[in-house]
Amino acid sequence: MKHQSMFKAVGVTAAAVLAMGALASCTSVSAGEGSDTVRVTLANHVWTDIIKDRISEFEKDTGLTVELTQLGEDQLSDQYNVKLNAGTDEIDVMMYRPLQEGKLFAQNGYLADISDRVTANSDWNWDDFQSGPVGATTWEGSVVGVPTITEQEVLYYRTDLLEAAGLDVPATLDDLENAAKVISEDNPGVAGFVARTARSAAVTQFSSFLYSFGGDFIKNGKSVIDSPEAKAAYEYYGGLLNNYGPENVSTDMSWPEAAAIFAQGNAAFYTDASSLYKNLTEAENSTVSDSVGFAPFPAGPAGSKPYNVPSWALGINEASPNQDNAWKFIEWATSPEMTLDIQEAGVPGARDSVWADPAGTASFPPALAEAVAIGSETGVGYDRPLVISVAEAREIVGAPIVEAITGGDVDSVIADAHEKFQAFLDGENK
């Protein structure tokens, strides 16, 4: 008897589950053409947090409903890969990384052409956007995205250590090497310099060194990572970490690990993206929050040429039947007023006007705002090879960085990487 009642219970539960499933399928709303629901997919970011808090304003003004999905960077990529590949029409607005995925998405026809939309409203003012980021969201002459967040490589340093050593803030890469040497010798246990060391993750931060030495990844469709300039850059970046980096430096560090070494007070200099500064300047993240200095990227033989890139942009899914309303959301989220508000919260925007406005730079540490402004002027609009399979390309051009950090035979690894990279480019250009 007892078991019979158990089976009954199982049966009832099963019936309930099935009924619930049937009910749920009936209630799911389909958001089709001209639907009042805009489905927006955004990455976890301070920018997103601010937008999320203010979505109700947008809903009130337009009468539309926003259905927001928010995911981490890698999870977002995975989801796009599956969903866009399956031709989904369940995403209207998508936040994407123009340099990492832009070319792939545009080539596959995932991103709608919004060239006419961006120029339609003069108040919204498309001309206000910085040319570097705009270049990255343009594909074969068509605008496919609106840049939202920019970043530049800057030099972070410890003001107290520099003062104690009686050194000036390094203006050139030679000064930087010298200062790293002096400080690491004077302060046992403190590294002169720290930066990303992982093969793929380091590529973007290495790019500013490469440009400042006069090198590049690709020239006229050919690999130029074996040029004398590129070799010098590889050797400089790796040498700095090998000679003055943290002891037994791991070759698996991305920004969280490198920033942590600096934030724990174990390094004097650190080069990375301007967007990371709060990891170093907020007391809850950093033990040296009071003594962090900011400087423009030091000049190399070819001058100071940090990257100045749009890390994120908003685009419209080509397969979306609700593109008009999707554009309304993008127009609202990237308006001059909204960009200024977001920049005041510390997220660097892509509009020139917000950088010209004192209110737009007031929230940044003054030295950082200055470094960013200089970087925006002298910067290069990309921080990784501009190809379709970016992840694969990063693995190839990143190999000599790791070799240089470990003090190995850099020349032969560069020659090998150059050959592979050329073969890779030939394959993509077929």
Note the residues at the interface with other proteins (CB under 8 A): 3, 7, 10, 13-14, 17, 20-21, 24-25, 28, 30, 43-46, 67-73, 75, 78-79, 82-83, 85-88, 90, 255-256, 260, 263-264, 273, 275-276, 278-279, 283-287, 311-312
β-sheet bridge partners, residue 193: 269
> Which is closer to other proteins, CB of 7 or CB of 337?
7
How far apart CA 146 and CA 314 sit, in angstroms, is: 5
Q: What gap in Å lies between CA 249 and CA 270, rounded to an integer?
A: 14
Q: Cβ of residue 299: shortest distance to other proteins, in angstroms?
A: 26
The closest of 232, 248, 149, 140 to 194, measured between CA atoms, is 248
Amino acid symbol at 149: I
Alpha-helical regions (H) of 114-172: 115-120, 131-136, 159-165
Q: Smallest gap, in angstroms, from Cβ of residue 13 to other proteins?
A: 5
Are residues 334 and 328 in contact, defined by beta-carbon separation less than 8 angstroms?
Answer: no
Give the residue carrying structure tokens 């539309």. 64
Amino acid at 285: N
Residue number with CB closer to other proteins (114 or 372): 372
Nearer to other proteins, 311 or 325 (CB): 311
Of 217 and 312, the one with the shorter C-beta distance to other proteins is 312
Q: How far is the CB of 149 from other proteins (least distance, A)?
A: 8
Q: Name the token pair of 197.
A: 């060391």
Residues paired with 111 in a beta bridge: 317
- Contact status, residue 379 vs residue 282, Cβ threshold 8 Å: no
With respect to other proteins, which residue has the nearer C-beta, 121 or 287?
287
Token digits of residue 30: 């389909």
Q: Closer to other proteins at the Cβ: 68 or 415?
A: 68
Minimum CB separation from other proteins for residue 283, in Å?
Answer: 7
| Closer residue to other proteins in complex, CB, 16/356 | 16
- Give the length of the chain: 430
- 54, 364, 369 from 343: Cα distances, Å: 15, 9, 11
* Shortest Å distance, C-beta 315 to other proteins: 17
Least distance to other proteins, CB of residue 318, Å: 16
Give the nearest distance from C-beta 278 to other proteins in angstroms: 7
Could you give the 3-state DSSP secondary structure of residue 314?
strand
